[in-house]
Chain A
Amino acid sequence: MKLKDTAALNALRSKSLALLENRRVSNPITTMEAQGKPRHIMVCGGTGCHASDSPEIVKLLKEELDRRGLSDQVEVLQTGCFGFCEKGPILEIHPDNTLYVEVSTTDVADIVEEHFIQGKQLERLLYIEPNTEKRFASDLPFYHNQLRIALRNCSYIAPENILEYIAADGYQAIAKVLFKMTPDSVIAEIKKSGLRGRGGGGFPTGVKWELTRQGEAKQRYIICNADEGDPGAFMDRSILEGDPHSVLEAMLIAGSVIGSTHGFIYIRAEYPLAIHRLEIAISQAREYGLLGKEILGSDFCFDVEIKYGAGAFVCGEETALIHSIEGARGEPSVKPPFPAQKGLWGKPTCVNNVETLANISPIILRGSDWFASIGTEKSKGTKVFALAGKVNNVGLVEVPMGTTLRQIIFDIGGGIKHHRNFKAAQTGGPSGGCIPTKYLDTPIDYESLISIGSMMGSGGLIVMDDSDCMVNIAKFFLEFTVDESCGRCTACRVGTKRLHETLTKITEGKGTLDDLESLEKLSKIIKDTSLCGLGQSAPNPILSTLEYFRDEYLAHIVDRSCPAGVCKSLLKYKITDKCKGCTLCTKHCPANCITGSAKELHVIDEERCLKCGACMEKCHFGAIIRH
């Protein structure tokens, strides 16, 4: 059914509102019986929960509801990411206002019996706040300081049904742009909102659109950059999985403004579920005439094509991405000319990141003043962070710009795992830096992160505790950049390799003080002489750890020890006199280097010790220490 005009879209919206009706209210379970409306079980279908069997839970729930004769009263739907990945799989029941966490396939029968037949909450699946041991069915502390704009529909609608998106004001923004606004007024609005690129660069989106619109050209292109290569960041994937239409709608808006009829979505082949949901969304949008010719009865034509990446981090850089779409090696090229002037197949091209696009429709519908009222002076709106590592609540977190790291890690993230001590937060992925404790209270935005030696990047936020060795972390990131450097610039290709070698030397206890100086010198050269962002930012993990954690480097070089106990070559295992002589360690030592008879103190032969730590793990008396 093609929607011929705005009136048809609005009629469809009114008709579809019923789908979301019971998700907008919240009732205790008991009052539901009287109302007799179908209830919805929204099961998380993001990659994390998908991996923990959520599709199987959906299937079993449907079967069980059917068996108990409830299938006409309760509907089971797959939705997008709830963000609280730590406690997945998650499901929410509307309008009962109940969220169950860590649900497994074996819980299905109990959920149906207790929740739906007996009408009471299933206590054991409620979230328990670890510090207070209080149970929560709704309004979890995890969501308290969050503001979901880009993620507004994730976990709220079923992404595979375009009608739910339309009911949630979907495609209203493109209708407004086509019939009530001019391209200039849209650009002015986006510029006024202060929206900046969420992929890492932070370039003002409105300016980018304006630049692409300038000059004569028969064709222009809009590209959605969904090549989320930063290891540890997964917001773009979650948006595409949970709300694909919001990205399509924003591409339509961008297309109509810059005068493009063709858009591309460049997505990683490693994201099969996001690709699947996008394909469904595109075919539904075509079916309703929201992609294709004469959209909503206007003279605007636009269609979208999916292009797959093939595992190259550098393709997140816009010129490299464009070469990859053209079917070539994804090597970056010199700017200028910028893609806005000369991009895909030589035509003006606008490349926007997924999260940036997800912010467009709310800005158009609610106005730039509303958006600009959120955030800091130079960074407006919200940012989605992928909170991971040694933090209690791993997940996706969307907070206003200017929120402090302490609020994100301790209030939302629930603090450090196993009550250990916070050591550093790493933002910006392989291009970013490590932020130490003293900056926990810095309000974060694009500028403040750069001023403390890191960067926003795409929003990966990895928390590290006192058991992480910062030299080893820097080495890990350099290994990544060595692998991913495309090889075009010598400084990046050869330089990162040399940096990695020097770091390896230090972690093996063979470093000298001169190495620190050469690391710094080479880092600066690579930053100055590389063509693209990958090389220019590759030394950041080293520079920031050298600045904030120099004592750890010195411990490796001068004392030949690794304070965090990570670097194997520098570890020593010793058996203390707590040893009862139980002989358990000798049985587990793969090198057979522990000697001693029963009931006597055992000894490790340090020469032959592999430093695997098996003995320490197995010892019942805590007699073996690492130093």
Chain B
Amino acid sequence: MCNNPLLKDPYQLLDNYIDNLPYKKENLIVILHHAQQLFGYLPDKVQWHIAQKLDIPSAKVYGVVSFYSFFTMKPRGQHVANVCMGTACFVRGSEKLQQEIENQLGIKTGQTTSDNSFSLDSVRCIGACGLAPVMTVDGKVHGRLESTEDINQVLAKYRTEARD
């Protein structure tokens, strides 16, 4: 993603992307989505760069980034786990699921493990209510996580991947 030296300079890629948009300032949110894909997160430097490129105050960029929960200003771990906190998952025990993952990873929701392998967050309903309680890891949905063993298995799978 962001650390791959074989890729072109991400700032260059971002500029190219912006140059090809039919209109710019109104597309700030789309641009931020793209920037987050390129950099993994949206640090001050990237926000500043976008503000200059679009010729808008950087306060406006910061205002938008801090408003929407999809955007993050902190770097993420190699794998991002999101526990669904929608109502359907909540009544089927997602609070317990969240606590169990927090215990197993040794971090709180919103934090990243010290070895940078996992970030843990919560998300509001991904619409897989039939599988409640669910969590996603790197966008893949894992459902019916009712026991400690279920959670263990999912995390273990990604842990091995992280080592490889």
Contact = CB atoms under 8 A, between A and B. Distances in A.
Interface string B81-92: 000011110111
B5 interface: no
Given A85-B130, A327-B28, A388-B87, A231 B125 contact: yes
A288 interface: no
Interface in B7-50: 25-30, 32-33
Q: Specify which of A232, A237, A330, A389 lies most central, judged by the most chain B CB atoms within 10 Å of its CB.
A: A232
B141 A47 contact: yes
Contacts of A310: 29, 32-33, 68-71
Interface string A286-326: 00000000000000000000011111110000000000111
A311 B88 contact: no
Q: Specify which of B25, B70, B85, B130 lies most central, judged by the most chain A CB atoms within 10 Å of its CB.
A: B130
A308 B27 CA distance: 10
Contact of B69 (A85, A312, A464): A312
A386 B33 contact: no
Contacts of B128: 47-48, 51, 85, 234
Contacts of B29: 307-308, 310, 324, 327
A389 B67 contact: no
Given A47-B141, A270-B123, A330 B87 contact: no
Contact of A48 (B26, B63, B124, B127): B127
Contacts of A201: none
Contacts of A346: none
Interface in A374-420: 386, 388-390, 394-395
Interface string B50-93: 00000000001001100111110000000000000111101110
B120 interface: no
Contacts of B86: 231-232
B126 interface: yes
Contacts of B30: 307-308
Nearest to A270: B126
Contacts of A238: 127
B150 to A, nearest CB: 14
Contacts of A480: 124
Contact of B127 (A47, A325, A389, A464): A47
A464 B129 contact: no
Interface string A258-280: 00000000000111100000000
A88 interface: yes
Q: Specify which of B29, B86, B87, B126 lies most central, judged by the most chain A CB atoms within 10 Å of its CB.
A: B87
A307 B26 CA distance: 11
Given A310-B69, A389-B92, A394-B130, A462 B25 contact: no
A270 B88 CA distance: 17
Q: Specify which of B90, B91, B123 lies most central, judged by the most chain A CB atoms within 10 Å of its CB.
A: B91
B85 to A, nearest CB: 7
Interface in B96-142: 123-132, 134, 139-142
A237 B87 contact: no
B141 A231 contact: no
A468 interface: yes
A3 B132 CA distance: 45
Nearest to A234: B127
A430 to B, nearest CB: 8
A285 to B, nearest CB: 19
A476 interface: yes
B106 to A, nearest CB: 14
A565 to B, nearest CB: 13
Given A52-B131, A310-B29, A327 B64 contact: yes
A317 B164 CA distance: 46
A429 interface: yes
A330 B91 contact: no
A51 B124 contact: no
A311 B64 contact: no
A451 B33 CA distance: 42
A389 B91 contact: yes
A186 interface: no
A273 to B, nearest CB: 9
Contacts of B28: 327-328
A78 to B, nearest CB: 17
A234 B87 contact: no
Nearest to A429: B87
A291 B88 CA distance: 38
Contacts of A232: 86-88, 125, 129
18 contacts: A47-B141, A51-B131, A52-B131, A85-B129, A86-B130, A230-B125, A231-B124, A232-B88, A307-B30, A309-B68, A311-B68, A311-B70, A327-B29, A329-B63, A386-B129, A389-B91, A394-B129, A473-B91
Interface of A: 47-48, 50-52, 85-86, 88, 228-234, 237-238, 269-272, 307-313, 324-330, 386, 388-390, 394-395, 426, 429, 460, 462-464, 468, 473, 476-477, 480, 483, 486
Interface of B: 25-30, 32-33, 60, 63-64, 67-71, 85-88, 90-92, 123-132, 134, 139-143
